[in-house]
Amino acid sequence: MRQHVYHGLPLQALESHFTELVSCAHSVCLFTDGGASQLTQIWIKQRTGQPEPEIMDSRSQGHAIPALRALDRVREKIHPVLQICEVRTIAADELWLSPCYRQHSVSIHFTWVADTAAVSPVVAPVEAQLAPFGARPHWGKIFTSSPKMLRLPDFRDLVREPGSTGKFGNAFTRRHLALHA
């Protein structure tokens, strides 16, 4: 594995080269600290001696630049409470409650400062900016929006099955998935 790190790509330059950039290697991660309209770092990880993967379906990347532009509109709110924001592509999966269920995705992950009182008021404006693009929350991150999971009814049925013994029912699933095991 070989990794290259680049610094300071303006978002404007990313607009015309996004698909090319995220498809150039085995793994490409784009980072911004939200301080300016630019990527702070780009990490390109290449496998040595192996062909790189095929380009991910460009339709899955169609919302990436508009979503980043939308987030740039609330950058002043985000920046004070943001440690880093990572943008990367993720292949589709078959996990019922996954944000990537049956769709290739571009994910935008936020690592916030450890101050819930300061971060909480910023989450709703971020979600509002991303809502027009069909954003789905990551269960391991902070979110306030309701889930838009295609297989949620199936999951609810699974939880209610007599043999499930409540193993999927907890405060988190009751609160966010309206589960009543």
The domain segmentation of the chain, as residue ranges, is 2-141, 151-181
In tens, the pLDDT along 73-114 reads 999 999 999 999 999 888 888 988 888 888 888 889 999 999
In what side-by-side order are the strands of the sheet with 38-46?
2-10, 38-46, 27-32, 82-90, 105-112
pLDDT tens readout for residues 130-152: 999 888 888 778 888 876 777 88
- The tens digit of pLDDT for each residue in 16-27 reads 888 888 888 888
Phi, psi of 30 (to 5 degrees): -110, 130
| pLDDT value at residue 148 | 73
Taking a C-beta distance cutoff of 8 angstroms, is the pair 123, 143 a contact? yes
Return the bridge partners of 46, or none. 2
Rounded-to-integer distance, Cα 15 and Cα 88, Å: 15
**Does the 2-141 domain belong in CATH 3.30.390.10?**
no
Instruction: Tell me if residue 80 falls in helix, strand or coil.
Output: helix
